[in-house]
Amino acid sequence: MHSGPMDRAHEILRDIFGFPGFRPGQEGIVAKILNGQPTLCVMPTGAGKSLCYQVPALLLDGPSIVVSPLTALMDDQVAGLRANGVEAAAIHSGRSRDDNVADWRRFEAGEIKLLYLSPERLMTPRMISALQRLDPALFVVDEAHCISKWGAAFRPEYEQLSALREHFPQARLAAFTATADTATREDIARKLFGGGGEIVVHGFDRPNLSLAVMPRDKGVAQMLAFLQDRKDVSGIIYCLSRKSTEETAARLVEAGYRALPYHAGLSPEMRRDHQEIFMAEPAVIMVATIAFGMGIDKPDIRYVLHLDLPASMEAYYQEIGRAGRDGGDAEALMLFGLSDARMRRQFIENDGEDIDHKRREHKRLDALLAYCEATRCRRQVLLSYFGENRDKACGNCDICLDPPKLVDATREAQMLMSAIARTGQRFGTAHIIDIVRGADTEKVRERGHDSLPTFGVGAGRPKPFWQSLVRQCLAGGQLSLDIEGFGALQLTEQGDAVLTGKAQVETREYVARKTGSSPRRQVQVLPEDVDADLLGQLKSVRKELAAAKGVPAYVVFPDATLMEMAAIKPQSLDAMGQVKGVGPKKLSDYGEVFLEILTGDPGRG
């Protein structure tokens, strides 16, 4: 690779996007794309993946096409590029036919360098032949995990993209995703590149993110206790259903928080409206289903709280990755209960006919449950799932900050397993615990289970102790859940070995936890050199400018840029041009307006 193209890449980065240099890892990816090397980049959310393909697209002769799954995502990317003076467009069903046709004409004429399309629109015979006449230089597949059946978010229309290399053998091909385990990565590369190509994996670790998991006891009380001293920061709370999203948001509003619901059942206008408020204003809580997330680029989200178990380790990693993108301290807390696991298993069982797919999804869920019940550094468990091993414990997760004491629970596990075996492995957790604790219930009496030798042998231990033991035995592989049998507990081979005294069970010592307590670092809200009042004024001007242009606030300037302005307080346009993220186009569009605030001189300009 000559230095020429990379020198020009640096110029584009500086002169158009306003950044003095690439972030770690970006430069190598840009070089690979310019070199014509088919490349799959797995980069954590917030690591700046868009620049990795936008810079080459502006350098290459010929147009570039970006494939993206969501219209909102396309529109935001296009708005961001246009704000930097780059001609880009998105053609999709959410825009009028006239606008789509006009943009296509400009693209054909070479006036637009970057075109965003959905996979469905791109892979029609008509679009393929129209593009073949234009000889595109680069195709970029964003959110590439959608192409893989191994992935957690497979979309059938993405699979057609595997024909791109045949239709456009001369074009460069790059793919990006924030989450993919090894099997998914290899599947993406096989489908898109036909087995060739390079896979670049960028460190999955986000050291500023503090990780914690707690058994869900009284979910609402735990949530309110967690939020108690986080009133002045923004966060996301994930719920499993639309109903619980609405109820949780209402409960928070009642408790004095600014909370907004977000789920697929709301109108597109209301979703957009809620997203705008969350992006632009301080101390807003977004209570959401997983419908909320792709392309969310708010850097100062200080926490992500899961009220329910996420779908998989990939989903969990992607969802917590929305916190702390500015590099400041942020927290991820997950509450989970056994009912979550059962519900997730049922979702998997009801998801189509593909047996292999179901088996993989169950294994994925096993990995997540093992993470929840981990007894060693949580970050080590999370990173090892993505194939990244670290020797040292992180010092920034609940297990490092408050290590659990491990105890021998073989005797109690045998009581549990004996009750499961003696009742024919046909009953769920609640009933088995009732037997062990000697509960006088109708179901126990009706089935004569009160005459079993194991009836009441564990009466000395509270119900949460037994629930925790069941969870840990499920995570440890001694028990399994029979999904088709409505979540009945069953013994595995390891469980049989425990019951017959050939193996032991070690678990974390049971301690009755105080509601909502979780070891934590103090959240650092703003760097010391940032003037909070000044930042507030800059944000309110940004909000007005964004509203006038009908774009998300971060398209005007991201928070990181405003924070740097509030810290260094530039007093001239030249000095303003040195701030990261202020390119020439933004300087001429917005420089004077922001300088008025920074210099305290409303008479400027």
Is residue 597 scored above 60 in pLDDT? yes
Same-domain pairing of 14 and 113: yes
Category of 365 on φ-ψ map: left (φ > 0), alpha (ψ -120 to 50) or beta: alpha
Q: Per the domain annotation, does 280 fall within a domain? A: yes
Residue 582's closest CA among 556, 602, 553, 547?
556
| The total number of residues written for the chain in this structure | 605
Same-domain pairing of 391 and 421: no
- State which H helix or E strand residue 497 sits in: helix 493-499
Same-domain pairing of 496 and 574: no
- Separation between Cα atoms, residue 577 and residue 570, nearest integer Å: 9
CATH classification of the domain holding 474: 1.10.10.10
* pLDDT per position as a tens digit, 533-555: 898 899 889 989 988 888 777 78
Question: 46: pLDDT confidence band, cut at 50, 70 and 90?
Answer: low
**Quick one: the chain helix, strand, coil %, rounded to 5?**
50, 15, 40
Residue 89's closest CA among 99, 102, 103?
103
Q: Per the domain annotation, does 112 fall within a domain? A: yes
In this structure, of 102-116, 204-218, 431-445, the range with the lowest mean pLDDT score is 204-218
- Per the listing, tokens 């620049």 go with 51
Same-domain pairing of 226 and 196: no
Single out the residue in 343, 369, 401 at which a domain terminates. Answer: 401
- Separation between Cα atoms, residue 285 and residue 46, nearest integer Å: 20
Query: Which residues constitute the domain of residue 481?
Result: 406-508
- Per the listing, tokens 């075109």 go with 115
* pLDDT per position as a tens digit, 168-207: 999 999 999 987 777 788 899 999 999 778 999 887 888 8
Give the SS3 label for residue 24. Answer: coil
- Per the listing, tokens 């009220």 go with 307
| Torsion 451-453-458-459 (CA) sign | positive
Same-domain pairing of 396 and 413: no
- Per the listing, tokens 């606030």 go with 553
Single out the residue in 382, 401, 420 at which a domain terminates. Answer: 401
CATH classification of the domain holding 544: 1.10.150.80
494 residue type, one letter: Q
Same-domain pairing of 237 and 313: yes
- Separation between Cα atoms, residue 230 and residue 250, nearest integer Å: 18
Q: Per the domain annotation, does 522 fall within a domain? A: no
Same-domain pairing of 416 and 397: no
- Separation between Cα atoms, residue 483 and residue 470, nearest integer Å: 16
Please report the DSSP string for 385-453 in residue order. Answer: HTT---SS--S-BHHHHSPPPEEE-HHHHHHHHHHHHHTTT---HHHHHHHHHT---HHHHHTTGGGST
pLDDT at 381: 85
Q: Per the domain annotation, does 578 fall within a domain? A: yes
Same-domain pairing of 284 and 364: yes
Percent of the chain with pLDDT over 70: 93
- Tell me the residue ranges of DSSP E strands in 3-113: 39-42, 64-67, 88-90
Same-domain pairing of 476 and 346: no
pLDDT at 523: 46
pLDDT at 432: 96
Same-domain pairing of 95 and 36: yes
| Mean pLDDT, residues 89-99 | 93
Q: Per the domain annotation, does 375 fall within a domain? A: yes
Q: What is the pTM of this model?
A: 0.69
Please report the DSSP string for 290-357 in residue order. Answer: TTS-TT---TTEEEEEESS--SSHHHHHHHHTTS-TTSS-EEEEEEE-HHHHHHHHHHHHTS-S-HHH
Average pLDDT, the chain: 88
Same-domain pairing of 195 and 223: no
Instruction: Tell how strand 259-262 and strand 330-336 pair up.
Output: unpaired
* pLDDT per position as a tens digit, 221-238: 999 999 998 988 999 999
Single out the residue in 166, 201, 236 at which a domain terminates. Answer: 201
Q: Per the domain annotation, does 245 fall within a domain? A: yes
- Separation between Cα atoms, residue 107 and residue 110, nearest integer Å: 5
Cβ-Cβ contacts under 8 Å for 523 (sequence gap 6 or more):
230, 233, 302, 303, 329, 330, 331
CA 388 vs. chain centroid, Å, equals 18
Cβ-Cβ contacts under 8 Å for 81 (sequence gap 6 or more):
54, 87, 88, 114
Is residue 524 scored above 60 in pLDDT? no
- Separation between Cα atoms, residue 421 and residue 202, nearest integer Å: 47
* pLDDT per position as a tens digit, 359-410: 778 878 888 888 898 888 899 888 888 777 778 888 999 999 888 888 999 9
Q: How many domains does the chain divide into?
A: 4
CATH classification of the domain holding 315: 3.40.50.300
- Separation between Cα atoms, residue 598 and residue 514, nearest integer Å: 47
Residue 480's closest CA among 489, 471, 472?
489
* Contact between residue 8 and residue 59 where contact means Cβ atoms under 8 Å apart: yes
Question: 484: pLDDT confidence band, cut at 50, 70 and 90?
Answer: low
385 residue type, one letter: Y
Same-domain pairing of 352 and 233: yes
Question: 47: pLDDT confidence band, cut at 50, 70 and 90?
Answer: low
Q: Per the domain annotation, does 42 fall within a domain? A: yes
In this structure, of 7-16, 161-170, 504-513, the range with the lowest mean pLDDT score is 504-513
Question: 61: pLDDT confidence band, cut at 50, 70 and 90?
Answer: very high
Residue 244's closest CA among 262, 221, 270, 226?
262
Q: Per the domain annotation, does 330 fall within a domain? A: yes
How many other C-beta atoms can be found within 10 angstroms of the C-beta atom of residue 199? 17
